[in-house]
A and B are shown apart, each in its own frame.
Chain A
Amino acid sequence: MRPALRRWVFLAGAAGLVAFYLWGLSGLPGFGNYPGPYGPAILRIAVAQTHATGVVSAVNFEYRGFDTVGEEFILFTAAAGTAIVLRMLRGERERPPADEARDRDVPPTSGAVRTVALMFTGPVVVAGWWLASHAQANPSGGFQGGVVLATAFILIYLAGEFLTFRRLSPTAIADAVEAAGAGGFAAIGLAAVCLGLPYLDNFLPLGQIPGAVSSSGTIALISFFVGLEVAAAFILIVSELLEQTLLIRHGGG
Protein backbone atom coordinates (compact mmCIF):
# COMPACT_ATOMS: atom_id res chain seq x y z
CA MET A 1 0.00 0.00 0.00
CA ARG A 2 1.37 3.42 -0.90
CA PRO A 3 2.05 5.72 2.07
CA ALA A 4 -0.44 8.36 0.89
CA LEU A 5 -3.23 5.81 0.49
CA ARG A 6 -2.23 4.31 3.81
CA ARG A 7 -2.67 7.65 5.54
CA TRP A 8 -6.12 8.15 4.01
CA VAL A 9 -7.23 4.72 5.17
CA PHE A 10 -5.93 5.60 8.64
CA LEU A 11 -7.74 8.95 8.70
CA ALA A 12 -11.04 7.33 7.66
CA GLY A 13 -10.60 4.67 10.34
CA ALA A 14 -9.59 7.24 12.94
CA ALA A 15 -12.68 9.34 12.18
CA GLY A 16 -14.85 6.30 12.80
CA LEU A 17 -12.98 5.53 16.01
CA VAL A 18 -13.42 9.12 17.26
CA ALA A 19 -17.15 8.95 16.52
CA PHE A 20 -17.51 5.70 18.47
CA TYR A 21 -15.38 7.07 21.32
CA LEU A 22 -17.54 10.21 21.63
CA TRP A 23 -20.67 8.07 21.49
CA GLY A 24 -19.28 5.85 24.26
CA LEU A 25 -18.23 8.85 26.36
CA SER A 26 -21.69 10.38 26.16
CA GLY A 27 -23.04 7.31 27.96
CA LEU A 28 -20.50 7.43 30.80
CA PRO A 29 -21.58 8.75 34.20
CA GLY A 30 -18.78 11.34 34.20
CA PHE A 31 -15.35 11.37 35.78
CA GLY A 32 -15.46 10.82 39.52
CA ASN A 33 -19.06 9.55 39.65
CA TYR A 34 -18.58 5.82 39.10
CA PRO A 35 -21.97 4.33 39.98
CA GLY A 36 -21.23 0.61 40.19
CA PRO A 37 -22.90 -1.71 40.98
CA TYR A 38 -20.25 -4.42 40.68
CA GLY A 39 -17.28 -2.55 42.21
CA PRO A 40 -19.13 -1.05 45.20
CA ALA A 41 -20.76 -4.42 45.92
CA ILE A 42 -17.32 -6.04 46.12
CA LEU A 43 -16.00 -3.18 48.26
CA ARG A 44 -18.84 -3.75 50.73
CA ILE A 45 -18.26 -7.46 51.23
CA ALA A 46 -14.62 -8.17 50.26
CA VAL A 47 -12.86 -7.61 53.61
CA ALA A 48 -15.41 -9.50 55.65
CA GLN A 49 -15.68 -12.33 53.14
CA THR A 50 -12.01 -12.89 52.22
CA HIS A 51 -10.06 -11.28 55.10
CA ALA A 52 -7.94 -9.52 52.47
CA THR A 53 -7.56 -5.77 52.93
CA GLY A 54 -6.20 -5.42 49.40
CA VAL A 55 -9.47 -5.52 47.53
CA VAL A 56 -7.74 -5.50 44.12
CA SER A 57 -5.98 -8.76 45.06
CA ALA A 58 -9.28 -10.15 46.31
CA VAL A 59 -10.81 -9.35 42.92
CA ASN A 60 -7.87 -10.81 41.01
CA PHE A 61 -7.32 -14.00 42.96
CA GLU A 62 -10.80 -14.68 44.30
CA TYR A 63 -13.78 -13.01 42.60
CA ARG A 64 -12.21 -13.03 39.15
CA GLY A 65 -9.79 -15.87 39.95
CA PHE A 66 -10.87 -17.86 36.95
CA ASP A 67 -9.96 -14.98 34.62
CA THR A 68 -6.58 -14.67 36.33
CA VAL A 69 -5.84 -18.33 35.61
CA GLY A 70 -6.32 -17.47 31.94
CA GLU A 71 -4.18 -14.37 32.31
CA GLU A 72 -1.40 -16.37 33.88
CA PHE A 73 -1.49 -18.83 31.04
CA ILE A 74 -1.24 -15.94 28.57
CA LEU A 75 2.11 -15.14 30.14
CA PHE A 76 3.04 -18.83 30.18
CA THR A 77 2.16 -19.10 26.48
CA ALA A 78 4.08 -15.93 25.66
CA ALA A 79 7.24 -17.30 27.30
CA ALA A 80 6.81 -20.56 25.38
CA GLY A 81 6.05 -18.62 22.19
CA THR A 82 9.19 -16.52 22.58
CA ALA A 83 11.24 -19.69 22.98
CA ILE A 84 9.67 -21.16 19.84
CA VAL A 85 9.99 -18.03 17.69
CA LEU A 86 13.59 -17.53 18.82
CA ARG A 87 14.64 -21.15 18.30
CA MET A 88 17.76 -21.86 16.35
CA LEU A 89 16.91 -21.62 12.68
CA ARG A 90 18.41 -23.66 9.86
CA GLY A 91 21.85 -22.33 9.07
CA GLU A 92 22.41 -21.03 12.57
CA ARG A 93 24.46 -22.50 15.33
CA GLU A 94 25.10 -21.72 18.91
CA ARG A 95 28.57 -21.03 20.03
CA PRO A 96 30.16 -19.80 23.21
CA PRO A 97 30.14 -16.04 23.45
CA ALA A 98 33.82 -15.78 22.58
CA ASP A 99 35.22 -12.48 21.44
CA GLU A 100 34.89 -12.28 17.69
CA ALA A 101 37.10 -9.27 17.18
CA ARG A 102 40.14 -9.98 19.29
CA ASP A 103 41.92 -6.81 18.30
CA ARG A 104 39.08 -4.69 19.60
CA ASP A 105 39.16 -3.56 23.20
CA VAL A 106 35.91 -4.36 24.95
CA PRO A 107 35.35 -1.77 27.65
CA PRO A 108 34.98 -3.62 30.97
CA THR A 109 31.78 -3.13 32.96
CA SER A 110 32.39 -0.01 34.98
CA GLY A 111 32.95 -0.32 38.69
CA ALA A 112 30.01 1.96 39.40
CA VAL A 113 27.58 -0.26 37.44
CA ARG A 114 28.93 -3.39 39.14
CA THR A 115 28.69 -1.91 42.63
CA VAL A 116 25.21 -0.49 42.19
CA ALA A 117 23.87 -3.66 40.52
CA LEU A 118 25.31 -5.95 43.22
CA MET A 119 24.19 -3.60 45.97
CA PHE A 120 20.63 -3.75 44.70
CA THR A 121 20.44 -7.49 44.04
CA GLY A 122 19.80 -8.51 47.65
CA PRO A 123 17.25 -5.80 48.48
CA VAL A 124 15.47 -6.44 45.17
CA VAL A 125 15.06 -10.14 46.02
CA VAL A 126 13.68 -9.22 49.45
CA ALA A 127 11.35 -6.61 47.92
CA GLY A 128 10.15 -9.13 45.31
CA TRP A 129 9.29 -11.78 47.92
CA TRP A 130 7.72 -9.17 50.16
CA LEU A 131 5.48 -8.01 47.28
CA ALA A 132 4.56 -11.54 46.26
CA SER A 133 3.63 -12.50 49.83
CA HIS A 134 1.61 -9.38 50.73
CA ALA A 135 -1.08 -9.46 48.04
CA GLN A 136 -3.76 -9.76 50.72
CA ALA A 137 -2.62 -6.65 52.59
CA ASN A 138 -1.64 -3.83 50.26
CA PRO A 139 -1.10 -2.89 46.60
CA SER A 140 1.25 -5.76 45.90
CA GLY A 141 0.87 -9.29 44.66
CA GLY A 142 2.38 -12.05 42.62
CA PHE A 143 2.48 -10.18 39.33
CA GLN A 144 4.33 -7.18 40.73
CA GLY A 145 6.56 -9.27 42.99
CA GLY A 146 7.44 -11.69 40.20
CA VAL A 147 8.63 -8.91 37.92
CA VAL A 148 10.74 -7.43 40.71
CA LEU A 149 12.25 -10.86 41.46
CA ALA A 150 13.17 -11.32 37.80
CA THR A 151 14.88 -7.93 37.93
CA ALA A 152 17.35 -9.31 40.49
CA PHE A 153 18.66 -11.79 37.90
CA ILE A 154 18.88 -9.07 35.27
CA LEU A 155 20.93 -6.98 37.70
CA ILE A 156 23.34 -9.91 37.95
CA TYR A 157 23.60 -9.89 34.17
CA LEU A 158 24.36 -6.17 34.25
CA ALA A 159 26.98 -6.54 36.98
CA GLY A 160 28.73 -9.56 35.60
CA GLU A 161 28.30 -11.28 32.33
CA PHE A 162 25.85 -13.38 30.44
CA LEU A 163 27.42 -16.67 31.52
CA THR A 164 26.98 -15.81 35.20
CA PHE A 165 23.37 -14.91 34.51
CA ARG A 166 22.89 -18.24 32.78
CA ARG A 167 24.61 -20.21 35.53
CA LEU A 168 22.45 -18.54 38.19
CA SER A 169 19.21 -18.95 36.26
CA PRO A 170 19.59 -22.14 34.22
CA THR A 171 16.79 -22.53 31.72
CA ALA A 172 15.90 -25.99 33.04
CA ILE A 173 15.28 -24.65 36.55
CA ALA A 174 13.43 -21.56 35.28
CA ASP A 175 11.26 -23.86 33.11
CA ALA A 176 10.45 -26.03 36.12
CA VAL A 177 9.67 -23.04 38.35
CA GLU A 178 7.44 -21.54 35.68
CA ALA A 179 5.57 -24.80 35.29
CA ALA A 180 5.23 -25.14 39.08
CA GLY A 181 3.86 -21.60 39.32
CA ALA A 182 1.31 -21.99 36.54
CA GLY A 183 0.41 -25.55 37.58
CA GLY A 184 0.18 -24.58 41.26
CA PHE A 185 -2.49 -21.96 40.52
CA ALA A 186 -4.54 -24.43 38.49
CA ALA A 187 -4.01 -27.12 41.16
CA ILE A 188 -5.36 -24.88 43.95
CA GLY A 189 -8.51 -24.55 41.88
CA LEU A 190 -8.72 -28.31 41.41
CA ALA A 191 -8.10 -28.93 45.12
CA ALA A 192 -11.29 -26.98 45.82
CA VAL A 193 -13.12 -29.17 43.32
CA CYS A 194 -11.81 -32.29 45.08
CA LEU A 195 -13.30 -30.97 48.33
CA GLY A 196 -16.67 -30.66 46.62
CA LEU A 197 -16.45 -26.86 46.25
CA PRO A 198 -16.58 -24.74 43.08
CA TYR A 199 -13.33 -24.34 41.11
CA LEU A 200 -10.94 -21.88 42.84
CA ASP A 201 -13.20 -21.60 45.87
CA ASN A 202 -11.34 -20.27 48.91
CA PHE A 203 -11.10 -23.46 50.99
CA LEU A 204 -8.24 -22.50 53.33
CA PRO A 205 -8.69 -20.91 56.77
CA LEU A 206 -8.98 -17.15 56.39
CA GLY A 207 -7.01 -16.21 59.51
CA GLN A 208 -8.07 -13.93 62.35
CA ILE A 209 -6.63 -10.54 61.37
CA PRO A 210 -7.65 -9.23 57.94
CA GLY A 211 -4.55 -8.18 55.98
CA ALA A 212 -2.05 -10.27 57.98
CA VAL A 213 0.38 -12.41 55.98
CA SER A 214 -1.37 -15.55 57.20
CA SER A 215 -4.84 -14.27 56.30
CA SER A 216 -7.09 -14.61 53.25
CA GLY A 217 -6.60 -18.33 52.57
CA THR A 218 -6.04 -19.17 48.91
CA ILE A 219 -5.54 -15.52 47.87
CA ALA A 220 -2.11 -15.44 49.53
CA LEU A 221 -1.22 -18.90 48.23
CA ILE A 222 -2.25 -18.13 44.66
CA SER A 223 -0.30 -14.87 44.78
CA PHE A 224 2.79 -16.84 45.82
CA PHE A 225 2.46 -19.22 42.86
CA VAL A 226 1.78 -16.33 40.49
CA GLY A 227 4.99 -14.71 41.75
CA LEU A 228 6.96 -17.86 40.90
CA GLU A 229 5.39 -18.11 37.47
CA VAL A 230 5.89 -14.44 36.57
CA ALA A 231 9.51 -14.33 37.79
CA ALA A 232 10.41 -17.48 35.85
CA ALA A 233 8.55 -16.35 32.72
CA PHE A 234 10.38 -13.03 32.65
CA ILE A 235 13.77 -14.66 33.29
CA LEU A 236 13.09 -17.05 30.41
CA ILE A 237 11.99 -14.28 28.04
CA VAL A 238 15.00 -12.13 28.87
CA SER A 239 17.46 -15.01 28.55
CA GLU A 240 15.93 -16.02 25.19
CA LEU A 241 16.42 -12.47 23.91
CA LEU A 242 19.98 -12.31 25.29
CA GLU A 243 20.82 -15.68 23.75
CA GLN A 244 19.80 -14.32 20.38
CA THR A 245 22.23 -11.46 20.52
CA LEU A 246 25.05 -13.19 22.37
CA LEU A 247 25.14 -16.86 21.44
CA ILE A 248 23.40 -17.65 18.19
CA ARG A 249 25.29 -16.86 15.03
CA HIS A 250 24.84 -17.26 11.28
CA GLY A 251 26.68 -19.91 9.36
CA GLY A 252 28.01 -23.32 10.26
CA GLY A 253 25.66 -26.27 10.55
Chain B
Amino acid sequence: MQVFPFIVVAWIAGVGLYGIVTSRNLIHQIVCLIVVQSSTYVLLLGVGYVTGAVAPYYYDVPVHTPAVDPVVQALALTDVVVEAAVTALLLSVAIQAHKRFGTLDPHELAEFKG
Protein backbone atom coordinates (compact mmCIF):
# COMPACT_ATOMS: atom_id res chain seq x y z
CA MET B 1 0.00 0.00 0.00
CA GLN B 2 1.29 3.38 -1.04
CA VAL B 3 1.19 5.51 2.10
CA PHE B 4 3.17 8.59 1.07
CA PRO B 5 0.12 10.86 0.41
CA PHE B 6 -1.27 9.98 3.84
CA ILE B 7 2.05 10.82 5.50
CA VAL B 8 1.88 14.21 3.76
CA VAL B 9 -1.64 14.68 5.19
CA ALA B 10 -0.45 13.90 8.72
CA TRP B 11 2.55 16.21 8.30
CA ILE B 12 0.48 19.19 7.07
CA ALA B 13 -2.12 18.70 9.81
CA GLY B 14 0.62 18.22 12.42
CA VAL B 15 2.59 21.39 11.65
CA GLY B 16 -0.66 23.38 11.49
CA LEU B 17 -1.88 22.08 14.86
CA TYR B 18 1.52 22.69 16.45
CA GLY B 19 1.37 26.24 15.10
CA ILE B 20 -2.09 26.81 16.57
CA VAL B 21 -0.97 25.59 19.99
CA THR B 22 2.26 27.58 20.18
CA SER B 23 1.19 30.73 18.31
CA ARG B 24 1.37 34.11 20.04
CA ASN B 25 -0.58 36.02 17.41
CA LEU B 26 -4.22 35.59 16.36
CA ILE B 27 -3.57 36.27 12.66
CA HIS B 28 -0.77 33.69 12.68
CA GLN B 29 -3.09 31.28 14.46
CA ILE B 30 -5.76 31.73 11.76
CA VAL B 31 -3.17 31.02 9.06
CA CYS B 32 -2.22 27.85 10.96
CA LEU B 33 -5.87 26.81 10.94
CA ILE B 34 -5.89 27.24 7.14
CA VAL B 35 -2.82 24.97 7.00
CA VAL B 36 -4.64 22.30 9.04
CA GLN B 37 -7.61 22.54 6.73
CA SER B 38 -5.37 22.21 3.68
CA SER B 39 -4.47 18.73 4.88
CA THR B 40 -8.10 17.71 4.35
CA TYR B 41 -7.86 18.54 0.63
CA VAL B 42 -4.88 16.21 0.26
CA LEU B 43 -6.70 13.54 2.27
CA LEU B 44 -9.91 13.78 0.22
CA LEU B 45 -8.13 13.75 -3.13
CA GLY B 46 -5.79 10.98 -1.92
CA VAL B 47 -8.69 8.76 -0.88
CA GLY B 48 -10.45 9.12 -4.24
CA TYR B 49 -7.39 8.64 -6.44
CA VAL B 50 -7.39 5.77 -8.90
CA THR B 51 -4.05 4.77 -10.47
CA GLY B 52 -3.89 5.53 -14.17
CA ALA B 53 -7.31 7.22 -14.27
CA VAL B 54 -8.15 10.61 -15.79
CA ALA B 55 -9.83 13.59 -14.11
CA PRO B 56 -13.63 13.16 -13.98
CA TYR B 57 -14.20 15.34 -17.04
CA TYR B 58 -15.40 13.79 -20.27
CA TYR B 59 -15.12 16.90 -22.42
CA ASP B 60 -12.34 15.54 -24.62
CA VAL B 61 -11.98 11.92 -23.55
CA PRO B 62 -14.48 9.15 -24.38
CA VAL B 63 -17.22 8.55 -21.82
CA HIS B 64 -16.47 5.53 -19.58
CA THR B 65 -12.71 6.18 -19.52
CA PRO B 66 -11.71 5.24 -15.95
CA ALA B 67 -11.70 8.42 -13.87
CA VAL B 68 -10.88 9.32 -10.28
CA ASP B 69 -13.74 9.69 -7.80
CA PRO B 70 -15.76 12.85 -8.54
CA VAL B 71 -17.53 12.89 -5.17
CA VAL B 72 -14.41 13.57 -3.07
CA GLN B 73 -13.42 16.27 -5.57
CA ALA B 74 -16.79 17.94 -5.07
CA LEU B 75 -16.25 17.66 -1.31
CA ALA B 76 -12.83 19.29 -1.64
CA LEU B 77 -14.49 22.18 -3.49
CA THR B 78 -17.00 22.57 -0.66
CA ASP B 79 -14.08 22.46 1.75
CA VAL B 80 -12.32 25.36 0.00
CA VAL B 81 -15.46 27.53 0.04
CA VAL B 82 -16.13 26.86 3.71
CA GLU B 83 -12.50 27.63 4.52
CA ALA B 84 -12.74 31.00 2.79
CA ALA B 85 -15.91 31.81 4.73
CA VAL B 86 -14.47 30.72 8.08
CA THR B 87 -11.25 32.65 7.47
CA ALA B 88 -13.15 35.86 6.68
CA LEU B 89 -15.18 35.56 9.88
CA LEU B 90 -12.16 34.73 12.06
CA LEU B 91 -10.17 37.65 10.64
CA SER B 92 -12.98 40.07 11.42
CA VAL B 93 -13.16 38.73 14.98
CA ALA B 94 -9.39 39.22 15.27
CA ILE B 95 -9.74 42.84 14.09
CA GLN B 96 -12.40 43.53 16.73
CA ALA B 97 -10.37 41.78 19.44
CA HIS B 98 -7.39 43.97 18.62
CA LYS B 99 -9.53 47.10 18.66
CA ARG B 100 -11.07 46.26 22.00
CA PHE B 101 -8.12 44.84 23.90
CA GLY B 102 -5.16 46.28 22.02
CA THR B 103 -3.44 42.93 21.61
CA LEU B 104 -3.46 39.95 19.26
CA ASP B 105 -1.66 37.63 21.68
CA PRO B 106 -4.06 34.79 22.61
CA HIS B 107 -2.34 34.37 25.99
CA GLU B 108 -2.97 37.99 26.90
CA LEU B 109 -6.48 37.90 25.44
CA ALA B 110 -7.29 34.93 27.69
CA GLU B 111 -6.75 37.16 30.71
CA PHE B 112 -9.52 39.55 29.67
CA LYS B 113 -13.01 38.62 30.69
CA GLY B 114 -16.19 39.61 28.92
Interface of A toward B, CB cutoff 8 Å: 1, 3, 6-7, 10, 14, 18, 21, 25, 28, 30-34, 36, 38-40, 42-44, 46-48, 53-56, 58-60, 64, 67-68, 71, 74-75, 77-79, 81-82, 85-86, 89, 137-139, 141, 143, 147, 210-211, 230, 234, 237, 240-241, 244
Contacts and interface: CB of A to CB of B under 8 A. Distances in A.
A95 B78 CA distance: 38
A10 B21 contact: yes
A36 B67 CA distance: 12
B70 A210 contact: no
Contacts of A46: 70
Nearest to B94: A85
B82 A71 contact: yes
Contacts of B82: 71, 74
Given A39-B69, A56-B74, A138-B59, 12 more contacts: A1-B110, A28-B6, A31-B6, A32-B49, A33-B50, A34-B47, A54-B56, A137-B57, A137-B59, A211-B59, A230-B81, A240-B92
Nearest to B65: A43
A238 to B, nearest CB: 9
Q: Which 9 A-B pairs have the closest CB atoms?
A: A39-B69, A78-B85, A32-B51, A30-B1, A31-B2, A55-B56, A59-B74, A55-B70, A85-B92
Interface string B46-63: 111111000111110001
Contacts of A10: 17-18, 21
A59 to B, nearest CB: 4
Interface string B86-114: 10110111011001100000010010000
A60 B75 CA distance: 8
Contacts of B21: 6-7, 10
Contacts of B58: 47, 53, 55, 210-211
Contact of A33 (B4, B17, B51, B57): B51
B81 A43 contact: no
Contacts of B63: 47-48
Contacts of A42: 70-71
B68 A34 contact: yes
12 contacts: A28-B6, A32-B2, A36-B69, A39-B48, A53-B59, A71-B78, A78-B84, A79-B85, A81-B89, A82-B89, A139-B57, A210-B58
B81 A85 contact: no
A14 B55 CA distance: 34
B59 A31 contact: no
Contacts of B107: 3
Interface in B3-62: 3-6, 10, 14, 17-18, 21-22, 46-51, 55-59
